[in-house]
Amino acid sequence: MAKVLVKGNEAIAQAAINAGCQCYFGYPITPQSEIGEYMGAHLPEMGRNFITAESELASINMVIGAGTTGTKAMTSSSSCGIALMQEAISAMCCAEVPGVIVSVMRGGPGLGNIAPAQGDYFQAVKGGGNGDYKTIVLSPSTVQEAIDLTYRAFYLSLKYRNPVMLLADGLLGQMMEPADFGEYPYKDPDVSTWALNGADNRPARNIVSLHMPEGELEQLSNRIFEKYEKIKKEETTYEGFMLEDAKLVLTAFGTVGRIAKSAVLKARGEGMKVGLFRPVTLFPFPEKQLNDVAKNADMVLDLELNQGQMLLDVRSSVFGACPVEFYGRSGGGMLTPDMIFEKVKELYAAINKTKVGVK
């Protein structure tokens, strides 16, 4: 298929349709309303389901209903709307219900503003809901990657019977870029062994998240965390850019990753050995991979559109292999390639100065 010029939000919606998403349940919120609009325009005429729900609570619980039948379903929202879904996401992890949640971040806390931001890293990756659980979180930095990761989100969700969140921001949602939809590249697993469709010639099944008998929940928790270990082993992905000889390694996720890339190229142009490490899966976080890179670097600079959230995962991955610095803006403030370049220049000079001093 040829490349088309497409808006991020609409690309995610079309990719979901291509992935076989049978149901979209959502509630409007800026800056992702185009996803619901696109689904509303296309799903019903394809004989699929579209509901503008009464709230985000309702949307995500409709996704649960669809998920219990093994049907591909999706909802989308932004920051405060995703906050309302947290109880259900926790329940999905416990009851092992698949479903795709698109989170197009805006400025926060509170109603915040509608500018692009990355303040919901903790919400997505650490989980705003109750109990021990993990949501698989995929972070696109381009419209093309948003398409590819939407495909992957549906696949992983069914494969692991776990909710998958596509974590984008308002910048990606609103920008237009050329992208190639290709085709949904995965072979979906068989759901007939667990999905609810009536107890016909088999014992009745249940998909619930309450486990009262002593020891039952602990057993379940252990099994689910074994699953998370498998996910860590098999699904962790990241992008490395000019890392081979990098003395200063930038870390960034999502759209900041692409902005940082421009800064890396500019720094390389001035002879500085700078590279970029961009996690694509935020859970599972590429801990070992980043640690390996940090062992050969003099410093890591973490860049985010928040006050330092992924920073905690970066620090624990680097695990003292080298110093970790942070540079970010929040509340909807944007990092530009020039701003990052200036910070890189300052830190790169400091690294060299320290080295001279040691010698």
Partner 1 sequence: MAETLVYKRPESLLKDGHFTFCPGCGHGVVLKIIAELIDEFNLQKDTIAISSVGCSIFLEKFFNLDVAGASHGRSPCVATGVKRCKPDKFVFTYQGDGDAATIGFNETIHTACRGEHISMIMINNTNFGMTGGQASATTLVGQVTTTTPKGRKAELTGYPLHAAEIVAKCDGTAYCARVAITDSKNIRQAKAAIKKAFEAQLNGLGFGFVEVLAACPTNWHMTPVESVKHIEEVTEKIHCLGVFKDVTVQEKV
Min dist CB 231 to partner 1, Å, is 24
Instruction: Report the DSSP pairing between strands 99-107 and 49-52.
Output: unpaired
Nearest CB to partner 1, comparing residues 5 and 204: 204
Tell me which residue of 177, 347, 151, 354 sits closest to 258, measured CA to CA.
177
Q: For the purposes of burial, counting CB atoms within 10 Å of the CB of 45, is it exposed (0-12), middle (13-18) or buried (19 or more)?
A: exposed
For partner 1, the closer CB: 127 or 286: 127
CB of 183: closest distance to partner 1 in angstroms? 23
Positions touching partner 1 (CB under 8 A) are 22-23, 25, 49, 51, 53-55, 57-59, 61-69, 71, 73, 87-88, 91, 95, 196-201, 204-210
Q: Which is nearer to partner 1, 193 or 201 (CB)?
A: 201
Nearest distance, CB of residue 82 and partner 1, angstroms? 16
Q: Which is nearer to partner 1, 56 or 169 (CB)?
A: 56
How far apart CA 141 and CA 281 sit, in angstroms, is 12
Q: Which residues does 60 contact at the CB level (< 8 Å), separation at least 6? A: 25, 75, 84, 85, 88, 89, 99, 101
CA distance 151 to 156: 9
DSSP for 301-323 reads EEEESSSSSHHHHHHHHHTTSS-
> For residues 23 and 259, which CB has a smaller minimum distance to partner 1 in the complex?
23
- Closest approach of Cβ 54 to partner 1, in Å? 4
* Least gap, CB of 97 to partner 1 (angstroms): 9
318: left (phi over 0), alpha (psi -120 to 50) or beta: alpha
